[in-house]
């Protein structure tokens, strides 16, 4: 069985019930499919059904939602991760899930470090079922505290079956000042690629930097989501600060998984998109075949307190991605 890459969501509350949108693929959902706070969404498809995961919200470590068709989403009220690892004080962000060849599931997430609430590190958890019952490991997966910690992990399976995790080194958490703590660009915020063994949780080899911010990205890049389509690797990411109008979703492409990656000439999602309805759209996760995407958009301009989940259809032609 091929690994199914899940994807990352964040915070939402149990008042979200159902939002019927009948088409399986379309340019954008008819407004948000989850109207409560559900930032940085991730999803996985198993047997034709979808499960989405979010950052901590509504008293749950990792909230979940389900859909039979990618369009009608139902909040479950189930906490997928009921225990916090011993190295963390909680505040779980940006989960992502893959399915292993044996049918079990691995969740990647980040959480605050007990010794310093300014930093997050990446952890792992495992379960025999997709939407619940995850048990967190007490061993950090990635924890480069001297560089600012690590956030926004996402799993990936290459065409040869090899497994990888991408994540962001959270350099802006070192507090250089200005926008998102890195307004002057003092700190690097690279996207890292880490190969893992068949268990999905054991790193193998050294981590490899595959992308970093430049002046056009503002203080940071983050929220990586990696896919492979027709021999081209697509690395989706967000840039600029999440709490401002410049936050966006873009992508870079490469012919090799380790790069070099070339950034697209313009972002895929920006504030004002979809006839002016999108506000700071980011935290996107793209399905393995490149046709489906989830992302969040602020409910009110420049207010990240409620980041709602949207869906969109994508078309990939060569190295170009477009909303379809």
Q: Which helix (H) or strand (E) holds 274?
A: helix 273-276
Q: Do 191 and 212 touch, CB atoms closer than 8 A?
A: yes
Active site residue 222: yes
Annotated catalytic residue within 170, 222, 248, 298: 222
Half-sphere exposure at residue 165, Cβ-oriented, CA atoms within 13 angstroms: 35
Tell me the sheet residues that pair with 126: 106, 135
Q: How does 18-32 read in b/e, with b if 16+ C-beta sit within 10 Å? A: ebebeeeeeebbeeb
* Annotation marks residue 45 as catalytic: no
59: phi > 0 → left, psi -120 to 50 → alpha, else beta; which? left
C-alpha 99/C-alpha 7 separation (Å) is 12
Q: How many residues does the chain have?
A: 324
Residue of 36, 40, 79, 140 marked catalytic? 40
| Closest residue by Cα to residue 60 from 104, 33, 39, 90 | 90
DSSP secondary structure code for residue 4 in this structure? P
Which residues are known catalytic residues?
Answer: 40, 222
């Amino acid at each position: 069985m091929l690994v199914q890459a899940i994807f990352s969501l964040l915070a939402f509350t149990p008042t979200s019930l159902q939002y019927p949108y009948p088409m399986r693929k379309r340019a954008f959902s008819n407004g948000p499919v989850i109207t409560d706070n559900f930032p940085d969404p991730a999803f996985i498809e198993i047997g034709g059904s979808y499960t989405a995961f979010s950052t901590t919200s509504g008293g749950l470590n990792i909230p979940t939602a389900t859909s039979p068709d990618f369009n009608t989403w139902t909040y479950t009220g189930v906490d997928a991760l009921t225990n916090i690892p011993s190295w963390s004080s909680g505040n779980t962000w940006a989960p992502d899930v893959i399915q292993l060849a044996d049918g079990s599931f691995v969740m990647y997430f980040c959480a605050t470090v007990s010794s310093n609430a300014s930093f997050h590190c990446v952890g792992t958890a495992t379960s025999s079922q997709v939407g619940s019952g995850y048990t967190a490991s007490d061993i950090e997966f990635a924890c480069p505290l001297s560089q600012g910690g690590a956030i926004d992990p996402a799993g990936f399976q290459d065409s040869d079956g090899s497994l990888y995790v991408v994540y962001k080194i959270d350099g802006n958490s070192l507090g250089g000042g200005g926008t998102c703590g890195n307004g002057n660009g003092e700190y690097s915020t690279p996207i890292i690629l880490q190969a893992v063994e068949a268990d999905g949780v054991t790193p193998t080899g050294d981590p490899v930097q595959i992308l970093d911010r430049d002046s056009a990205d503002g203080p940071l890049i983050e929220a990586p989501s990696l896919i492979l389509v027709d021999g081209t690797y697509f690395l989706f990411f967000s840039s600029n600060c999440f709490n401002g109008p410049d936050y966006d979703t873009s992508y870079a492409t490469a012919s090799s998984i380790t790069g070099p990656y070339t950034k697209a000439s313009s972002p895929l999602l920006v504030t004002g998109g979809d006839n002016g309805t999108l506000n700071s759209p980011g935290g996107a996760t793209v399905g393995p075949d490149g046709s489906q995407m989830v992302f969040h958009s602020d409910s009110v301009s420049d207010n990240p307190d409620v980041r709602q989940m949207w869906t969109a259809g994508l078309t990939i032609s060569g190295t170009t991605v477009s909303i379809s």
